[in-house]
Homo-oligomer: A and B are copies of this chain.
Amino acid sequence: MISFKNDYSEGAYSSILEKIIQENTVQNTGYGEDAHCQKAIKAIQKKLNCFDCSIHFLVGGTQTNLIVISHCLKPYQAVIAAESGHINVHETGAIEATGHKVIAMPSKDGKLSVKMVEKALSTHTDEHMVQPKMVYISNPTEVGTLYSKKELEQLRDFCKQKDLLFYLDGARMASALAASFNDIALEEYQNLVDILYIGGTKCGALFGEAVVFFKKTLEEDFRFSIKQKGAMLAKGWLLGIQFETLFENNLYEKLGKHSNAMAENIQKAIAQKGYGFQFPPCSNQLFPIFPDEVFKKLEQQFEFTFWEKIDDSHTSVRIVTSWATKEEDVKQLIEAIQKA
């Protein structure tokens, strides 16, 4: 059965695998202290147009979030997130396991606003409560929505004013960058956030995430944190090779565009049939609301994720495309939607 369940059902973009094979018998220094990691760092710095930021490579997303957050916070400090934020819901309490509370704010569209952060601060005022110290957002969010540059600027300004760290989880950054709604270039992030996580796993790599510290003081001794949390890959050059390949020659952007184009095709077909969306479609995740009989027909032919029962006769689902989504699979899905 064709799956639109997520963006990590296939391996890696072909050129990444080729580079890994090519390097397979070369002896490389371990633990990320190799030439490929250095090249990858330079390639990303160039794309960010920022040459004094610090970059580290990690294997997965939950790992990245827990290491970054626990590295930056003091024991009694907390991180503010949207209630639907990955760290609040889908990381099995990984942040709390490092000792920190996630202050979760209800949000309708998966985004965090200055008002929400303000409210979190206003209810945490002294030493009988945790001390909010970091703001965590995802872009695209867990429900596929996107922040505008203005929204990020507002959050950034508020964070600066309140001395909060601002951390952006870009597990699907390739899709954000390629989105038609997007008005933030990669090189602008240095002026928007303190720490940026650029995702690889969901954007063409076999695995791997890049963490960018724009504030160098935050990054001090970060390799100790990586090692302590069991995240220092022995053959670290595997991460280097992947990000080197993704960020030289615009592969990352290209893969994001493909992913979004596939989603857009599906989205149009759904809209043409008059079906609505639970969240505005912006990136490679779609949340259409299907009449139940349509939902039942589609789930017999395709894999996707049940999201929510909307009312007695309607159901929302999550459909995800990726760098690996095949045009013919999308065509099949569209035909099925049209017929259903």
Contact = CB atoms under 8 A, between A and B. Distances in A.
A199 to B, nearest CB: 10
A228 interface: yes
Nearest to A201: B234
Interface string A67-92: 10011001110100000000001111
Interface stretch (A55-63, A183-191, A292-300): A55-63
A267 to B, nearest CB: 21
Given A10-B24, A11-B20, A94 B229 contact: yes
A172 interface: no
Given A90-B128, A91-B228, A97-B228, A27 B11 contact: no
A207 B31 CA distance: 12
A76 B230 CA distance: 12
Interface in A124-175: 127-131
Contact of A230 (B102, B127, B231, B324): B231
A25 interface: yes
Interface string A252-275: 000000000000000000000000
A53 to B, nearest CB: 20
Question: What's the dominant secondary structure at chain A's contact region?
Answer: loop
Contacts of A66: 229-230
Interface in A93-141: 93-94, 96-102, 127-131
A289 interface: no
Nearest to A128: B90
A71 B97 CA distance: 12
B221 A127 contact: yes
B221 A76 contact: yes
A230 B94 contact: yes
A238 B99 contact: no
Interface in A203-234: 206-207, 221, 223-234
Interface stretch (A1-9, A38-46, A277-285, A310-318): A1-9
Contact of A75 (B11, B98, B230): B98
A27 B12 contact: no
B30 A8 contact: yes
Contacts of A225: 75-76
Contacts of A31: 128
A118 B93 CA distance: 19
- Of A31, A76, A324, most B-chain CB atoms within 10 Å: A76
Contact of A238 (B70, B78, B206, B231): B206
A335 interface: no
B101 A233 contact: no
Contacts of A71: 74-75
A94 B99 CA distance: 8
B90 A129 contact: yes
A76 B228 contact: yes
A129 B92 contact: yes
B23 A221 contact: no
20 contacts: A11-B24, A17-B20, A17-B21, A59-B233, A60-B233, A61-B234, A62-B230, A75-B97, A75-B225, A78-B96, A92-B227, A93-B100, A98-B99, A127-B221, A127-B232, A131-B221, A201-B235, A207-B234, A207-B238, A229-B230
